[in-house]
Structure 1
Amino acid sequence: MAYTKEKLQEAKRQIDSTLHKLRETVRTLEGKENPSRYKSQITLANRRIQAFGLAVSLIERELEQLS
């Protein structure tokens, strides 16, 4: 499936925004008095960070090919 450069750039921008929010969430949860209480939420957020990081890498590779 072919995507335009603009659509890829917008998708990357949205993912970067979500990654920022997820990282802030992890920092907040880990900074709580009892972070082990939030272990499953922290794990889920970290897995999402990894998945979105992979998506960004693939988008960047696609953008390089378009240039």
Structure 2
Amino acid sequence: MTRSHPHTRNRYAARPPLYGMVMVFLAMAIVAVTAYYHLGWWSIIGYAIAAVTAVAGFALAFRDFS
């Protein structure tokens, strides 16, 4: 059995904020494409997907701030 050192850092600790910011920029891109094409009812779905993506990305990007 191996034991990890108590001061061993998680090597993936910096990833969630990066993924969060990518998701926020993806949401902005979805809004830009949706606004450009004016697809009627499909636009509502596009904006809803962008909103969910932005909220999830914001939560991942800024979850470590108290």
TM-score range, shorter chain: 0.5 to 0.7
Q: Give unpaired runs (5+ residues) of structure 2.
A: 1-8
Higher mean alpha-carbon deviation, 39-48 vs 29-38, is at 29-38
Q: Distance in 2 between matches of 1:55 and 1:14?
A: 7
Counting matched residue pairs gives 58
- TM-score, normalising length: structure 2: 0.61
Pick the structure with more helix per residue: 1
AA partner of residue 56 (structure 1): A
Checking the alignment, whether the CA contact within 8 Å between 1:29 and 1:35 is kept in structure 2 is no
Partner of 1:18: 23
Q: Which has the higher Rg, Structure 1 or Structure 2?
A: 2
Aligned sequence identity (%): 5
